[in-house]
């Protein structure tokens, strides 16, 4: 019997994920765990406040409009198609196979960066907590903790998916309860100076200490605002492992967006008024993730701040596991479709997990962590910061960068990649809806309304990308957008779009390689059984 070189040699069983392993609740738990609600609020709300000032809730209003307008596309696709390819398989339906494969490549890259960024942040949090509470310091600092957390995370990811879903439930419920207690306490006490509507307007972007502030600060903050929703989409990859996937997946996607939006609106407003909206940047933003602990101690009690610290660590661990699971399935699907080595498209004989894909992802994560461990920083006389890659230690003025900086760089880069995929999903949906109407012989109102929402969503997703890219273009274009109030993002944030571009080019080269393989003559491709 003849076999082409494109066909896998492994048995069908060794290339199959665990069917019917997840119920609706499990898919939803994994989706919420990917968002890491408590950790996202603790870490990212202060970062957004440092950019957008008191208008952090307005950031989530804008991001929420984009995500809610996104729901017709994702619900429509998820009710018709279920695959480990997730968003990539949907894009292939509307825009073609090549667009789908490139989208899967983008999702795999974005998810790998997300996983790595959360593990680095987890290492930084562990270093801070153990040093403060137990006066215990380990050689290598956050890097060592991150390496250990990476081994633990990917070790758990290789196990049966049903075990992983059970493991995240407790952490997810505890972090939700903790966040609700904090928000309720601040709301009932009226914050530091009472309730105020300024955080819901652009006026809040002009508070002291906001950098860059204004409209640009709002757009820059949207990158992290959208990033805080990323994770809800992990449920899209469990179509082959969920029971009744065409119900479980769309319900989990829609419910996650709604719950996350409400929580982020409430939590960001509570954090801003907790310090007083006038001090959103110079106190909330300047204090970093410690600001959230200060709010816990001030409005609930010192013991509650300690609970938040512990649950922040567990929340990040569950988040890293959720992203690793999802990324492993994107890599598995790309291996199955031959864009990547076909070995990645195999599953563990016992646990039915994509163990080889997860191993490759773990190795990539470790290499990236060790590379970022070489980043050193130095504060200049003018207050700016210089960075370099160096093996030397102890040189005057230079120190290893804290894990918070690599977290910001990687999460921002990953968000850009995922935003591109979100836009492609919208465009694929518009094309699919209009194609159906043409086949029916007339345009229908629901298709037109959903298409308009999809285009609005794409525009909103494109705004954060524009704030990074357009001012950095040299010459007339960059000068024009600078005159509108945009400003070039400082190094190293200004080079992050280039990394996404390089990743896209890498995917394009893989597509060319795949195309050249599939176009070989039958005499060249046929092999003996």
**Token code pair at residue 521:** 């003559």
| Structure confidence at residue 519 (pLDDT) | 65
Rg (CA), the chain: 23
Domain ranges in the chain are 18-375+410-513
| Structure confidence at residue 505 (pLDDT) | 95
Write down the residue that tokens 């790309």 correspond to: 334
Sequential pLDDT tens for the chain (529 residues): 333 444 444 444 478 899 988 898 889 888 888 888 998 899 889 989 998 999 999 999 999 999 999 999 999 999 887 888 899 999 999 999 999 999 999 999 999 999 999 999 999 989 988 888 888 888 888 999 999 999 999 999 999 998 878 877 788 888 899 999 999 999 999 999 999 999 999 888 888 888 877 877 887 788 778 878 888 899 999 999 999 998 999 999 999 999 999 999 999 999 999 999 999 999 999 988 789 999 999 999 999 999 998 998 988 898 999 999 999 999 999 999 999 999 999 999 999 999 999 999 999 999 999 999 998 888 877 767 888 888 777 677 788 888 888 988 898 899 889 999 999 999 999 999 999 988 888 888 889 999 999 999 999 888 777 777 777 677 777 777 766 656 566 677 778 888 999 999 999 999 998 888 776 544 443 333 3
* Cα 306–chain centre separation: 26
| Structure confidence at residue 343 (pLDDT) | 93
With both helix axes pointing from N to C terminus, report the angle between 161-189 and 245-275 in degrees, rounded to the nearest 10: 30
* Dihedral over alpha carbons 349, 351, 353, 357 (to 10 degrees): -60
Query: Strands, E, within 346-496: which ranges?
Result: 375-379, 385-389, 399-400
| Structure confidence at residue 521 (pLDDT) | 42
| Structure confidence at residue 527 (pLDDT) | 37
**Token code pair at residue 248:** 């479980």
Distance CA(198)–CA(196), nearest Å, equals 6
CATH for 18-375+410-513, among 3.20.20.220, 1.20.1740.10, 3.30.70.260, 3.40.190.10? 1.20.1740.10
Q: Check: CB of residue 321 under 8 Å from CB of residue 29.
A: no
Distance CA(364)–CA(228), nearest Å, equals 23
Distance CA(225)–CA(342), nearest Å, equals 36
Q: Check: CB of residue 39 under 8 Å from CB of residue 319.
A: yes
Distance CA(162)–CA(370), nearest Å, equals 31
- Note the pTM of the prediction, 2 decimals: 0.88
List, in order, residues 6 or more apart from 343 with CB less than 8 Å away. Answer: 335, 356
């Amino acid at each position: 019997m003849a076999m082409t070189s494109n066909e896998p040699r492994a048995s069908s069983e060794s290339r199959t994920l665990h069917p019917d392993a997840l119920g609706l609740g499990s898919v939803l738990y994994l989706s919420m765990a990917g968002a890491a609600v408590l950790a996202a609020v603790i870490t990212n709300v202060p970062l957004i406040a440092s950019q957008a000032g008191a208008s952090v809730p307005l950031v989530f209003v804008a991001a929420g409009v984009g995500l809610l307008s996104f729901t017709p596309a994702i619900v429509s696709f998820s009710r018709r198609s279920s695959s480990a390819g997730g968003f990539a398989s949907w894009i292939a339906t509307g825009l073609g196979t090549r667009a789908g494969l490139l989208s899967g490549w983008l999702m795999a890259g974005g998810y790998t960066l997300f996983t790595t960024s959360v593990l680095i942040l987890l290492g930084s949090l562990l270093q801070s907590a153990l040093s403060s509470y137990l006066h215990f310091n380990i050689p290598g600092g956050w890097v060592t903790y991150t390496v250990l957390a990476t081994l633990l995370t990917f070790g758990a990811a290789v196990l049966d998916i049903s075990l992983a879903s059970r493991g995240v439930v407790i952490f997810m419920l505890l972090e939700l309860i903790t966040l609700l207690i904090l928000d309720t306490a601040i709301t009932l006490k009226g914050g530091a100076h009472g309730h105020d509507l300024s955080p819901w307007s652009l006026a809040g972007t002009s508070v002291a200490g906001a950098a860059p502030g204004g409209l640009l600060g709002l757009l820059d903050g949207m990158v992290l605002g959208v990033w805080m929703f990323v994770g809800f989409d992990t449920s899209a990859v469990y179509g082959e492992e969920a029971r009744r996937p065409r119900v479980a997946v769309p319900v989990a996607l829609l419910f996650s967006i709604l719950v996350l939006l409400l929580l982020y609106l409430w939590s960001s407003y509570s954090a801003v008024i907790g310090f007083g909206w006038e001090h959103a940047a110079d106190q909330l933003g300047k204090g970093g993730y410690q600001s959230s602990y200060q709010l816990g101690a001030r409005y609930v009690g010192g013991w509650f701040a300690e609970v938040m610290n512990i649950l922040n660590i567990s929340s990040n661990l569950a988040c890293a596991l959720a992203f690793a699971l999802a990324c492993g399935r994107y890599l598995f699907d790309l291996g199955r479709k031959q864009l990547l080595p076909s070995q990645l498209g195999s599953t563990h004989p016992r646990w039915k997990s994509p163990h080889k894909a997860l191993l490759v992802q773990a190795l990539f994560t470790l290499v990236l962590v060790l590379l970022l461990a070489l980043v050193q920083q130095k504060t200049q006389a003018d207050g700016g910061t210089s960075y370099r890659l160096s093996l030397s230690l102890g040189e005057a003025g230079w120190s290893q960068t804290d894990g918070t900086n690599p977290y910001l760089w990687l999460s921002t880069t990953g968000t850009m990649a995922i935003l591109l995929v979100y836009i492609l999903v919208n465009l694929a949906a518009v094309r699919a809806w209009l194609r159906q109407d043409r086949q029916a012989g007339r345009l229908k109102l629901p298709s037109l309304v959903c298409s308009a929402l999809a285009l609005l969503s794409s525009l909103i997703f494109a705004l954060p990308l524009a704030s990074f890219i357009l001012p950095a273009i040299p010459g007339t274009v960059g000068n024009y957008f600078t005159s509108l109030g945009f400003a070039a993002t400082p190094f190293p944030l200004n080079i992050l779009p280039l990394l996404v571009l390089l990743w896209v080019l890498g995917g394009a080269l893989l597509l060319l390689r795949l195309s050249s393989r599939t176009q070989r003559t039958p005499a060249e491709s046929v092999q003996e059984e």
